[in-house]
Every structure is written in C-alpha cells, then in structure tokens.
Structure 1
Amino acid sequence: MTFAKNLIYYVNGKYISSDQASLPLNDLGIVRGYGVFDYLRTYNGIPFKLQEHVQRLQKSAELIGLSLPCSTEELEAITQETLRHNNLPESNIRIVVTGGSSADFITPPEQPSLVVIVTPVTQYSAQYYEQGVKVITVQMERFIPQAKTLNYISAIMALQQAKRANAIDALYVNQQSHVLEGTTTNFFIFRDSQLITSQENVLHGITRKVVLELAIKKLKVVERPISYSELKDCDEAFITSSNKEIMPVVQIDDLQISHGKPGENTQLLMHLFQDYTRGL
C-alpha cells in the first residue's frame, strides 16, 4: 500500500510532511507500546462520528491511566485541521496518543504525545462484499479489550495465521469458547431470525453501534456471548469496522456459512448502512 508523498500529519503541535514526521526514540509508545489510538474515515469528506471516536479515545486512555494532551473539543479541531491540510477526496484518520518522551524509558512524563495521521481511503475488492469472505478463529484474547491500545501483538500474530489460511481476519476465542471479535472488527451472526453479537470483553466499535441502531428497526437484536459450538447452527455471519464497513462472512475455519454466499439479512444491513452513509 502506497500513499501520496505530500501528506501532512499533526505531531505535537506542528503540521508536518509525512516523510519528516517522527517521535523521539524514548517515547513510551515506541519503547513500551504505551498508548492508545482511534481510527475513523470520512464520508463525503466529513469525519464519520468524529465526536464518538474521540470520546472512545478518551475512554481508552482512562482505562490505561493515560491523560489526553488536550480537551476532546481541541482534539476534534486538530483532526479537522489536519484533514484540511491534506484536502483528500476521502480520508482514513488515525488519532494516536502515546505516553510521551520518558527520561528513564518507563515513567510517563506529564506531557503525552499526540499524532494525527491522515491517509487516502483505499477500498476493499467488491468481490469480498458480493461473494463473502473467510475468517479463522484463534485461541487468543486482547489485553484490556475495551481499550483501543497500541498493543497489537496478538492481532499481528493472528492476522499472520489468517493470511496463511487465505482468510481476511481472525476471530478471538476465549477460554470459555466464546467467539469475541476480530483483530480489527466486531463479529455478528444471525441465528433463528436474531442478530447476535458479543457485548462483553470486546471493543465497542462505532460501526458496530450504527449497525445495531439500523438493525433494531427491522430485526430482533440480542447482545450476548456467542459460543464457538453454535457457529455450525448460525444462518449468516458478518464483520464490521470503519474500513471494512459491513463485510459478509461465508466461511469460518472449515465451516461454511449461509451456503457459501452472503445472506439476505446481511445484505439488507449492507444496503441500510450504504444508504445511511450516503445521506451524511
């Protein structure tokens, strides 16, 4: 994946060319992985649910004992200004807060670091949405799953497994054999005319929230644990995220879902979500 060379990032008070942007090597985000981030995209050039993403960033920071370097209102303004500096048709946005530069490489200083990264939106192949995708399961759990932290070791390892299996994502399964979420996605199934998704020990995605709001107008929605054993009895499945939106799943490990093609309810939600984002 390559990006335009003239992108502008925000780094600790400055708007700077992406090829010049950097953090000190004693920043705790680099040497200890201590930090949080949030990720969103634009529709029609407008950041999708920016306030909610920034609020989730604040919650993530609180969960790991990290203070934001400025107010949420200032964060929103910095994000908007970074977008204006880049002037892309559609953008992906990463807001990153790290522990900051540490003299002893472990004690957080009073001032954390703030980075806002803007890149062009890249679309997944239409084939993924028309034919569905494969995911695998892995016996892993995320550290502090309610927080979007910089600790992505489990995700990287799981995605390497997924790539070897020609799958697009991996679903975390805990010690109780509950299917939780994907490495960067939330997970849903349809079973007995119910839309089911996990509520506990997962990151509550903003796209997940919108999907639930759209679904509850048309379908019966249940938030509860999903056991691995019931996957064989589910009628449909899909994953959601800011960059994947709603992506139908037609295979989990060796198990075929929805007769190997996107199900009707999943397609309904895909259309509802597209209509929702077009209307922004």
Structure 2
Amino acid sequence: MKQFIECMPCYLTQVISALKLTDIDEKKQCEIVKEVSKIYSDINPEKTPAENSTLFLLEAYKHMGQPDPFKEAKKQSNRFALAFFKDMEKRVLKSDDPLFTSIKLAVAGNIIDMGINPDYDLDNSIDRALKEGFVRNDYDKFRKYLEKADRVLILGDNSGEIVFDKLMVRQLKNYCPNIVYAVKGGPILNDATMEDALEVGMDKEAEVIDTGTNYIGVVLDKCSDTFLRYFHSADLIIGKGQGNYESLEGTKEAGDRTFFMLRAKCHQVARHLGVELMDAVFCQNTVE
C-alpha cells in the first residue's frame, strides 16, 4: 500500500505519542519534533506508510535518547490482556467453530494500539468482534490453505494483542502443528518483540522468531536472512494489523498464501480496504 497524502501528518502524530510517554520537557519535545520534521523532504512517496513512519520514529528515538519509550506501556498491555485470557479461551472452546472464534478474538486484540489509538476499549472490541464478525471475510479460502499447510507463519503486531494471538495459535495447531510466530527484531512503537513473546508465554505455544529489524510491518529488504527463509518457505502466512497489511498487501512475495487480519483504524487503510473506519477485516492478499 503506497502512502496517501493524508498519511504524512500521522508520521509526526506517532512521534508525539512516543514523546508523551517520556519525561522530556515540552520545550525539548518541540525541538525534537522540529528536527524530525526535516525528514519530510527525504521520504519516498512510493514507499509504504509503515516504512516511512519507521524513519520518523527511529529519528525521534535517536534525539530522545530512549530506544524504547513504549517499554512500560507494553508491559502494562500484556498484563491487561493476560487478565482476559482464561475467559476468552472458555468462549473459544464453547463456540461452534473454535478456530473462527479464536481468529475473531485475535482481531479484537488488534485494538490495543497505542501508536494509533491510545484510548482503546478492549471490552467493546471483544463484544463487537464476537457479534459482528468481519466485513470482509475470506475464512473459507483460509481454511483450504490451512488444511494443506505444513508450516504457518504468523506476523505478529502489538504487545497485548499477542496474548489474544495465543488463542488462535492453539486452535491452528489442531490443523498444522508447525506454527511460527514472528515478532519485531527491536523496539518500535508498541509492537511486540521477543521480550513480549517470552513475557506472555508465546514461546510455549509456537516457535518464535524475529524479523531481524525494528521496521513497522515487514519490509523484506530490511529483514534478516533467517526470517526470509521462514517467510519464503511458509505455506500460509497470517499478517496481523495495519503495518503488515500496509507493507505486504499486493506484493508477489506475500502471494495469495497470505491472509490479513486487522481492524481498519485509520481512514486511509479503511478506504484502501473498501470498508468503514474500525471495521474488522479477514482478507486474502490480492496480487495483480
């Protein structure tokens, strides 16, 4: 997904979200925003919003002197989500289709995104996900790929949300025991890293790897050789969240074996998907 003109102010909005989590005084924050704003003259409009946003954030982190301003917020999100886990698993196991229910709940967890929507309502997202389901729904196509898959690669998104992904992983293993879960190779916004995966016990459910980079989404030319081997050999790929959608949709590398699970949390992503703001989507990648 190429950037829209409306994406440009959001790059600074995410920088400001990070700054507000620090104890840096407002004068210094303004100076950092001015310095980071200089990147506007260098960004490539042909790149994805995920990639361009990363450039702004990494420059901001450098000036802040804090490589992970969301560190404590991520821990809080993980603890908060873990408090829901047992109840959510009961709902999954009692449902008519536990796999589909676990997928809906994994997308409900996608609301935990302090970079885009710091005032999320998880209870409402859970209720909405279970009642309304997906506006775009390629579950039947997904099942056909899953039934033939020897390896499933999940591209994780946020901290907190990773807890809900455990529900989905447990159900996926009933169809394919070889599940690999990929996290970021370093901190960026509140995206899940290896530290988060270990904290919530994802390593007990799946093989956990990292992308080898802290770029938002999956920017293949920034990823490690190890990650790329897993990516290219996977029979089925699940891309969680907007960053993975922005960076991989429409690409031949992702192919039609890739399915995106997300809630459209900004107008531009919603427009690109052909849905309304905050709609839940479970769609197969389309390569033209």
TM-score (norm 2): 0.29
TM-score (norm 1): 0.29
- Structure number with the bigger relative contact order (C-alpha 8 A, sep ≥ 6) is 2
Q: Which has the larger radius of gyration?
A: 1
